[in-house]
A and B are shown apart, each in its own frame.
Chain A
Amino acid sequence: MLAYKIVMVGDFGVGKTSLVKRFVDNSFSEEYLSTIGVSISKKMLNESTLMLWDIEGNTEFKPIFKQYLLGAKGFIVVADITRPNTIDAISKHIKLCHDVVKDAPISVALNKSDIKHTISQETLNSIKEISPFIINVLKTSAKNGDAVLDIFGSLDDFVVESLKK
């Protein structure tokens, strides 16, 4: 069975841990406890074993530690759909991912879509245009599970397909 590494990247408090928990355990907690360092989870999906690196989110005072991204086969860049500053930071995170792993596929999760938001189609299009290696931009909700399986599944399909080549 193919085992590979996926890293969750994004600002603090966007819901990286919640997305992993929803995907791995199908659970959710309203309580927010920011991840410090990294926590690794394992999830079997189809013919793959995904090693999910849930890393500490970027804050104003503490940037993401590049070493955590080493050897990843794909990234999920997460933003909080209700916090524009976290959406603005997506391009910076994508650049960081590609600095460490050139040309790695990226899925963008605009999380917390269950909360009232006002993101425009124009913004969604502009996110897609940040990099040709973005395979999709999905509005996700770790709270109600919307598009959570889609975001991990589509990235897995892409990675598996590209590793077969």
Chain B
Amino acid sequence: MMIETITKLVCIKNKVSYIIFDEFYKIIEFNDLVINIADDPSKLAISSDIRDVMWEFIGLEERMKMLFSGQEEIGSVIHFPMLLKNSHYYDLDIEIFTPQEGKTLFIAYIIQKPKESLSYINMIQEINKRTLVYESDNNKQSERHCELINQRLLSFNVDMDGYITLINNAFTCFFDISTEDIIGEHFSVFFKARDLNLNGNSSIIFNAINQINEVISFHANIIPMGEGSEVYENIIICQDITYLKQIEKELEHASVHDSLTGLPNRSQLLKKIDESIQKSKDNDSLFALCFIDIDKFKPINDNYGHHAGDMLLKHVAKLFLYAVRKNDTVARIGGDEFVILFDNIKSKAVIQDKIDKIKKIATKMPLTYTKNDVIAFELSLGVSYYPEDTTDIQELFKIADKAMYMDKKVLND
């Protein structure tokens, strides 16, 4: 009697639900807390079947029979942790209960999990959520990964004579031709290169024309199938490198042009002069070099700032381009120094007219830097003629340079 009372008191003190029932599942006794965890509270009553009240007991008959008949060790417990009921978690323990009267019964304890365990549950749920997202995305991404590769990389197989045996989707998309029309064709029908020999090469640069008539450059890796003399086919994987070709072009352009004005630089000018010398020799023609600098450029820089100086250089460059013919070359060779190469001229008089025109334009078209800052400027010019003055290029430069300084002197006097 004492043990029974103590058990019940402990349950009440610790808010543990208990329910006592016999071997036929008939409820003998329960405490008030059971109502909160009953799956069907309406059936909670003395003598009712515990399986109608708590669904956990359905299916446990065999195991409970073993417990009841003493086939299990003394003190054995049927334990179910973490039963979710009405948003609360409980542990269920079922064990043999023998009151003093001697009748063997069952007692089930239903113990609510402490609030602290909820944070653990939330953490597990969060981990599972993230893992699921990762696993699902991983599968989708690998699919997407293959799709993206297939879109970007053209790949095809060719036999040892260069005839196409297999292609990927990117190939048909690029050329907009059906697979049937590609298989069996020689790869040179689609790709152009200086050297079309695949065998023995590990990579090659191809050009191809896409469906909108753009020339696309490809870097192709050649992967032989088989080994040594046993190679029976090559797999070609082509990566679009058009943008690299574009960068290469831009770098080439930058190396021979002035970045501020976009005009040819000294290096490009020398190349053009060489071409003009050759033409002069071939056609017995005349060309002129005109050296130009902006008078008092330094004070402009100092008074208005370097930005204004840069704007003036760009302005002057535009004026020169406006004044010359298409086949003449306007170059900036440093600071405020420009050179115009007048190619294939008819007479010195023509050049004199050009010089006068440039000077006039300069006077009439000052730089409007801001609404209030209109920067006027003057130019000094000096000319030398090939082959009339000299056939030596260095000397030609010197003569023009000297003439320009003479002009500057006149201007300043």
List residues of chain A with CB under 8 Å of any chain B CB.
Answer: 3-5, 12-13, 32-40, 42, 51, 56-57, 59, 62, 65, 67-68, 70-73, 82-85
Cα separation A3 to B78 with both chains bound (whole Å) = 20
In the A-B complex, the 9 residue pairs with the smallest Cβ-Cβ separation, listed nearest first, are A37-B82, A71-B59, A5-B59, A34-B128, A13-B132, A39-B84, A36-B121, A40-B55, A51-B58
Residues of A within 8 A of B128 (CB): 12-13, 32, 34, 57, 59
B161 contacts A by Cβ under 8 Å: no
CB contact under 8 A between A67 and B80, given known A13-B135, A85-B135? yes
Residues in B neighbouring A59, C-beta threshold 8 A = 128, 131
Which single residue of chain A is at the shortest CB-CB distance from B90? Answer: A37
Q: Which residues of A contact B82 (CB under 8 A)?
A: 36-38, 56
Residues of B contacting A3 with CB < 8 Å? Answer: 51, 58
A-B contact pairs, 26 of them (CB 8 A): A3-B51, A5-B58, A12-B131, A13-B128, A13-B132, A32-B128, A33-B129, A34-B132, A36-B124, A36-B125, A38-B83, A38-B84, A40-B39, A40-B56, A40-B83, A51-B58, A56-B82, A57-B128, A59-B131, A67-B79, A70-B59, A70-B78, A71-B58, A71-B60, A72-B59, A82-B136
Interface status of B70 (Cβ within 8 A of chain A):
no
Q: From residue 59 to 81 of chain B, which have CB atoms closer than 8 A to chain A?
A: 59-63, 78-81
**In whole angstroms, what is the CA distance A56 to B124 when docked?**
11
Q: How far is the CA of A4 from the CA of B121 in the complex (A)?
A: 29
Partner of B61, one of A13, A34, A71: A71
Contact with A along B101-143 (1 / 0, CB 8 A): 0000000000000000000010011001101100110010000
Are B84 and A32 in contact (CB-based, < 8 A)? no
Query: How many residues of chain B get a CB closer than 8 Å to chain A's CBs?
Result: 28
**B267 shortest CB reach to chain A, Å:** 59
Is B30 part of the binding interface, using a Cβ–Cβ cutoff of 8 Å?
A: no
For A62, list chain B residues within 8 Å (CB). 124
Distance from B137 Cβ to chain A, minimum over Cβ atoms (Å): 11
Chain B nearest CB, measured from A137 CB (Å):
21
The reply to whether A4 and B136 form a contact with Cβ atoms under 8 Å apart is no
Is there contact, CB below 8 Å, between B129 and A32?
Answer: yes
Provide the bound-state CA to CA distance between A85 and B138, in Å.
12
The CA-CA distance from A71 to B67 in the complex, in Å, is: 14
Contact A12 B132 (CB under 8 A): yes
How close is A159's CB to chain B, nearest CB, in angstroms?
11
Residues of A within 8 A of B63 (CB): 70-71
Q: How far is the CB of B391 from chain A (nearest CB, A)?
A: 78
For residue A72, which residues in chain B have a CB less than 8 angstroms away from its CB? 59
CB of B76 to closest CB in A, whole Å: 12
Chain A, Cβ-Cβ closest to B91: A37
Give A161 Cβ to nearest chain B Cβ, in Å.
18
> In the complex, what residues of A have CB within 8 A of residue B124's CB?
34, 36, 62
Asked if B171 CB lies within 8 Å of chain A CBs, one says: no
Q: Supply 4 further A-B pairs (C-beta < 8 A) apart from A4-B59, A38-B84.
A: A34-B124, A34-B125, A34-B129, A72-B59
- Chain A residues, CB < 8 A from B83: 37-40
